[in-house]
Amino acid sequence: MIVSPPSTPRSRQRVITVLGLTQIMAWGSSYYLPAVIAPAVAADTGWPLTWVVGGLSLGLLVAGLISPHVGSSIERHGGRNVLAFSAACIGLGQIGLAAAPNLAVYIAAWLVIGLGMGAGLYDAAFATLGRLYGHSARSAITTLSLFGGFASTVCWPLSAFLMGETGWRGTCLVYAAVQLLIALPLYIFMVPRVAPQQSDRGLSGTTGEIAPMRIRSMPIMLVLAATLTLAAVISSTLSVHLLTILQASGLTLAAAVGLGAMVGPSQVSARAVEMMIARFHHPIWTKLASVTFVAVGVAALWVGMPVVAVALAFYGGGIGLETIARGTLPLALFGPSGYAKLMGRLAMPSLIAQAAAPSVGALLLEHVGAHGTLAALVGLALLNVGLACCLGWLVFRRRTLQAELP
């Protein structure tokens, strides 16, 4: 049984707004940072660019390894302390980056940031909302993802501006101050404290229905984890290599950047539509729409569709919906009891895959070129459509069996 503090519409909206703003800060201070500062770091220090960028991959690996523990902690005690720990780690890691005298210290700083990413990005924030609001967290998760969709739109230009004003080390110090002086106090003072998790043994919830966790099926768990991980592989690969792929098709860098910038607004637009219609459908349909849009977008890029903007709009809309499905589908399938722990376990393979995907993508680009890389991604996207359809069949089959129970 989940015991949460009383919630008013105003306090709920305040919590969602705080988490939304801190998500933008967290993504901008970690995941999206190397895309802007990495060339300057390599040029200033002489460190290999592969290792400079690889710091993020190692950080994501750490995030994946700790994610089950993060989920368990949120399940037991709520998300406030975990999120505060995240801000502290990202802030201290940024100080480490700024002060790094050599590559070893730079990599160590990314490992600390990895702890912060594992404890503070989407999965931890979704788990916190699930712990606070139970079944009604779906709308909160959707709204939070809408905030997060602005992270790259806000932070890439901000990072570029800071680079011009203070250099890459100064940029890291500014982000450290954002985490330690803004995000950390917001988590501590604005995220509600919740009562420790009580045992739900023998309980079926407040409405007398069969507890969702008691009818969890292993096939659904495995297929869900597989499709979430595969989606993470595709999005992580393209987030790093999209501009290279577009330039290989004959576009100039300026044109590639301009078209690539469409992905962010497409994500936000898809999430806004989902927020308006979410109450009318099960989240499995969000997942099916997500994988379909991604497959259409990547396939259109592969066949050389003349209107690249349309392909990228489909792709952006698909990964935008994927973020929502990642948070809402496990909640709908298994209920709020144990949701935070489940999110931590599901995050582990996805984050580890995200850590490896850019490097694998680079190898593909080197050996088979941009067209061959897109062909591989099309294959993965079609496989994910199949996995999502299989998941949908399992979900509706389980619902039918539930309806037949006395």
Amino acid at residue number 208:
G
Mean pLDDT of 311-329: 90
Q: What is the pLDDT of residue 129?
A: 92
Is the confidence at residue 333, as pLDDT, over 80?
Answer: yes
Q: Which two tokens stand for residue 387?
A: 């996995």
**pLDDT tens, position by position, 265-297:** 888 888 888 888 888 888 899 999 999 999 999
* Neighbouring C-beta atoms of residue 396, cutoff 10 Å: 12
Percentage of the chain beyond pLDDT 90 is 39
Half-sphere CA count of 31, side-chain side, radius 13 A: 25
Helices (H) and strands (E) in the chain, counts: 15, 0
CA dihedral 106, 117, 112, 99 (to 10 degrees): 40
Q: What is the pLDDT of residue 405?
A: 55
Highest mean pLDDT: which of 274-283, 355-364, 369-378?
A: 369-378
- What is the DSSP track for 37-87? HHHHHHHHH---HHHHHHHHHHHHHHHHHHHHHHHHHHHHH-SHHHHHHHH
Mean pLDDT of 347-360: 87
**pLDDT tens, position by position, 230-245:** 999 998 888 778 877 8
Highest mean pLDDT: which of 95-99, 130-134, 392-396?
A: 95-99
Is the confidence at residue 205, as pLDDT, over 60?
Answer: no
| Least reliable range by pLDDT among 41-55, 119-133, 300-314 | 300-314
* CA separation for the pair 90, 96 (Å, rounded): 10
**pLDDT tens, position by position, 2-60:** 444 545 666 888 999 999 999 999 998 898 888 788 888 988 999 988 888 889 889 99
Residues 6 or more apart whose CB falls under 8 angstroms from that of 220 comprise 333, 391, 394, 395, 398
Amino acid at residue number 336:
P
Q: Which two tokens stand for residue 283?
A: 């989240």
pTM of the complete model: 0.83
Where residue 204 falls among pLDDT bands split at 50, 70, 90? Answer: very low
Q: In whole numbers, what is the pLDDT of the chain averaged over residues?
A: 85
* CA separation for the pair 252, 338 (Å, rounded): 49
Q: What is the pLDDT of residue 196?
A: 58
Mean pLDDT of 62-82: 92
Where residue 172 falls among pLDDT bands split at 50, 70, 90? Answer: very high
Where residue 203 falls among pLDDT bands split at 50, 70, 90? Answer: very low
Q: What is the pLDDT of residue 403?
A: 60
* CA separation for the pair 274, 146 (Å, rounded): 10
Is the confidence at residue 102, as pLDDT, over 90?
Answer: yes
Q: What is the pLDDT of residue 402?
A: 63
Where residue 107 falls among pLDDT bands split at 50, 70, 90? Answer: very high
Between 248 and 227, whose confidence is greater? Answer: 227
Specify whether the CB–CB gap between 131 and 11 falls below 8 A: no
Where residue 202 falls among pLDDT bands split at 50, 70, 90? Answer: very low
Query: In this structure, is the dihedral angle defined by the CA atoms of residues 242, 61, 339 and 218, taken in order, positive or negative?
Result: positive
Residues 6 or more apart whose CB falls under 8 angstroms from that of 163 comprise 36, 37, 40, 171
* CA separation for the pair 74, 125 (Å, rounded): 10
